[in-house]
Structures are given as structure tokens and as C-alpha cells.
Copies of this chain bind each other. A is one copy, B any other.
Amino acid sequence: MEVEQLDTPVAIVDLDLLEENIMRLQSHLDQCGIKNRPHIKTHKIPEIAHMQIKAGAVGITCQKLGEAEVMAQAGISDIFIPYNIIGRSKLERLVNLSRRAKISVTADSDVTVQGLSQAMALSETELPVMVEFDSGLNRCGVQSSQEAAGLAQLIHQLPGLHFAGLMTYPSSDKTAPFVRETQKLLQPHGLQVEQVSGGGSKAAWQVQYFPEVTEHRAGTYVYGDRSGIKQGYATLTQCALKVIATVVSRPTATRGILDTGSKVLSSDTMGLEGYGLIVEYPDAVIYGLSEEHGHVDFSAHQRAPAVGERVTIIPNHVCVVSNLFNEIVGVRNSRVEVVWPVAARGMVR
């Protein structure tokens, strides 16, 4: 089947570009001597995770336990979950999962660490736990090296756990000083920071400036998106995932309505103007989204597309877009090669 025969809205992934994106980052990290542990949040598709591992990744990263379960069931054997796993239900699932795959996690509080230890206490293996620290995003993570060192010691002391190092998102100027300071504090206690996990698709190309980082988590690089173009780590021609839309209404000379609304493109702006880039009409602005309608101003173009015409959209933020589709169509040379269920989509727990 040809791409032009696919009904819209549809999310297609150019397989040549996908493979190139996977190889390009892998080669770069290989050259820098940094282990690659891509974040599957962007694609949520087991076959793509296997492609990343085949290319040289040491394992994958999942943000939710439910995503990790899907990936483990698909044969992925080394999964890092950089999230505070809290509560009886999730801890039980974590213990079960850690019997079937090599699982590691993060923690940024005593509460999380105590829960992990209690859950793992009866297990034969130790769960590797990294301490998450805040390197400027102001999200999760301990705020000081003193806190990090304290938590590392707690992990080391409690049964069932192994202190595996430090983790942050994204890698930044604050990463190296934080790691060095924490190492210094841990040395007298005979504890080492074995691994430092950094993250971010932009930071992936700057790993040489973060020598303390031993492995890297990047997600969006695999597809690329409009935000990635703006941030400078992807080019328009490298963007592998595109949404094909149909113009369903042309109420005025300059207004066009697409069959892609917020339930396809999401409302994420990522600080950009409009809700996506229309490849064929790059100066048009998707200025508004209803749930099932994209509102476009075509006034910057001499000719606006007619009702029924198809357009190609590079989304602002591809991770949330692939989470809105039940399946992604893999294409090569404009022919459909595979239809992938987005197997780990909606795994909110």
C-alpha cells in the first residue's frame, strides 16, 4: 500500500530516517564512550526498542512501570525506570518484574527508598537504585549533594537494595559539580558513584561536556519534532514521524480546517507559535485546536489548499502525539512496510 492510500489522520514513520536517527546518536555516544540507554517514552513500540538495542544500546529507559512490563514481555532484558515507585501495588509489580528482567530505578526520598527495600527484602537479588538529583529543571530530585549522599548511604544500608549511582534530567552545567561534590562526600564512607545517568535529546549531543556522565537517556531523537528543530538537535529532513491530515473545511479565503485536533496533535506548544509545522505550507499557522479540528491560517501563502487536499505535519512534541495514536505506520520509499501497535501507550501506572 502507498502512503497516499492511507486514510487520515495517520501517523507515519519513515523507516530509513528512523534507522538513521538511531544509528547517528548511537555512533556519537559510542565515539564519546558513553553508554546509550534510550528512553522509549517517545515511541512506546517494542520493535523500535529492539532496533535501538541492536544498534548498541545497553538497555532502555521507561518512565512508567506499565511501560516496562510491556517491554519486558517483548523480550527487552535491561530496563531502567527513573521514577519513584511508590505504593503496595506498584512495588509488588516491581518485584515480580525484577525476577524476569534486569530492572533498576531511582529514588529521591527516604519514603521511596524504604518502600523499595521492604518490597525487595525477601528477593534473592538486589535492586539497583540511583539517587535522582535536580540539575536545574526544578522537577524531582534531591537539591543538594548532602541529601544525595545521605540517601545513597540509606540505600547502601537497607536490605534488598544496591546504590548504583546518580541520575538527573536533563544533563546541564550543574551536573558535573553536583556529581563531584557527592563523590567527595561518599568517599569517606567507602561508597562509589558507579554510574551517572544523564538525559535529554539535546544534551545527547553535548555529552562530551559532561565527562562525569557514564550513560545517557535520550527519547525524542528517535523521531525528531518541531521542538527538536528549534532546539537544534534535529533538522526538518531528519524528522521521521509525520502526521498526515486532510483539509476538511475552507470556510474563508484564508482559513482552513484540518481533521487533526488536540486529540491527535495535543495542545503542547513547547514555546512555539502554533501547533505544528505544515510541510507543504511552512508559513501557515495552526493557530488553534479543537478536539478534532486544527484551525489554520493560510494567509501567508498565495494559494491555500482545497477541501480534500492532504497535508503533512511535523508535530511540536512527538512523544505526546505518538501516545494519542493506537498504531503507527512504518513506511519506506512511500510504501507501507509495517503497522506497529503503540503497545505501551496509555500505560499510566
Residues of A at the B interface (CB closer than 8 Å) are 7-10, 41, 63-64, 83-84, 86-87, 89-90, 108-109, 111-112, 115, 134, 138-143, 246, 248-252, 255, 257, 259, 262-264, 266-269, 290-293, 295, 306-308, 319-320, 323-326, 346, 348-349
Q: Which B-chain residue is minimally distant from A290 (CB atoms)?
A: B139
Asked if residues B246 and A41 are in contact (CB atoms below 8 Å), the reply is: no
A129 to chain B, nearest CB (A): 15
- Inter-chain contact A348/B263, CB cutoff 8 Å: yes
Q: Return chain B residues, CB-CB under 8 Å to A255.
A: 138
Residue pair A8, B84 in contact (C-beta under 8 Å): no
Whether A7 pairs with B251 at a CB distance below 8 angstroms is no
A163 to B161, CA, bound (A): 70
Identify 11 new A-B residue pairs, CB closer than 8 A, beyond the known A8-B349, A10-B349, A139-B293. A41-B292, A84-B248, A84-B249, A84-B307, A86-B307, A109-B307, A140-B251, A143-B251, A262-B266, A263-B320, A267-B320
Interface residue from B41, B250, B348 paired with A264 (Cβ < 8 Å):
B348
Instruction: Please state if A63 and B292 are interface contacts (CB–CB under 8 Å).
Output: yes
B290 touching A143 by the CB < 8 A rule? no
In the complex, what residues of B have CB within 8 A of residue A249's CB? 84, 108-109, 139-141
Q: How far is the CA of A323 from the CA of B115 in the complex (A)?
A: 32
**What separation, in Å, do the CA atoms of A290 and B326 have in the docked complex?**
21
- A83: shortest Cβ distance to chain B, in Å? 7
A83-B292, A266-B266, A293-B140 are known contacts. Are A7 and B349 too (CB-CB below 8 A)? yes
A348-B9, A348-B264 are contacts. A307–B111 as well, Cβ < 8 Å? yes
CA of A292 to CA of B267 in the docked complex: distance in angstroms?
16
A314→B154 CA distance, assembly (Å): 37
Q: Which residues on B sit within 8 Å (CB–CB) of A290?
A: 139
The contact sample of 19 A-B pairs, CB cut-off 8 A, is A7-B90, A9-B348, A87-B246, A108-B251, A109-B249, A111-B306, A112-B307, A115-B308, A139-B251, A139-B257, A139-B293, A140-B251, A140-B257, A263-B348, A267-B267, A267-B269, A325-B348, A326-B346, A326-B348
* A11 shortest CB reach to chain B, Å: 9
Minimum C-beta distance from A74 to chain B (A): 18
Report B-chain residues with C-beta under 8 Å of the C-beta of A323. Answer: 263, 324
Tell me the complex Cα distance, A7–B94, Å: 14
Known contacts A41-B291, A111-B308, A290-B139: A320-B248 contact under CB 8 Å? no
Bound form: Cα–Cα A246–B70 in Å: 22
Cα separation A262 to B41 with both chains bound (whole Å): 12
Least CB distance from A78 to B in Å reads 20
Q: In the complex, which residues of chain B have a beta carbon less than 8 angstroms from the beta carbon of A292?
A: 41, 63-64, 83
Residues of chain B contacted by A140 (CB below 8 angstroms): 248-249, 251, 257, 293
